[in-house]
Amino acid sequence: MNDDQHQPWHQVQEDLRQPAKELRAMIPDVLKSYGSLHHSAMASGEISTGTKELIALAVAVALKCDGCITSHARGAARAGVSRQAIAETLGVTILLTGGPGTVYGPRALEAFDEYERDYHPSDS
């Protein structure tokens, strides 16, 4: 995919890149610590990384955070999570969030589909 042909969720990721770099330059220790926390929390253990990405995606939808949705939809695709697992996770999220889940849930599925094509192009 060319840089000038960004898909919507890739564009969210791209739009956040420069501001994140600027903030990282201003508070490097905070963001380095956050990166370490993220790495530790998402590492496979008793709960797989894929399951952790599902949990994170559900929270991202509940919080209505597009940056979080793109990050964890990408992580779920990278971890090999199935589209059905995404849908079922979003179903639980809708149960607990009501109307906002019916708006942000489909957005999360769209984001997952976009990243799924990157990581598993023959499956799409």
What pLDDT score was predicted for residue 4?
Answer: 43
pLDDT along the chain (124 residues), means of 10: 61 92 97 97 97 98 96 97 98 97 97 94 69
Distance (Å) of CA 69 to CA 13, 46, 88, 112: 10, 24, 16, 9
What distance in Å separates the CA atoms of residue 104 and residue 108, rounded to the nearest whole number? 6
Residue 34 neighbours by CB distance under 10 Å: 12
What distance in Å separates the CA atoms of residue 48 and residue 79, rounded to the nearest whole number? 9
Residues 57, 101, 70, CA angle at the centre, nearest 5°?
A: 35
What pLDDT score was predicted for residue 3?
Answer: 41
What pLDDT score was predicted for residue 120?
Answer: 87
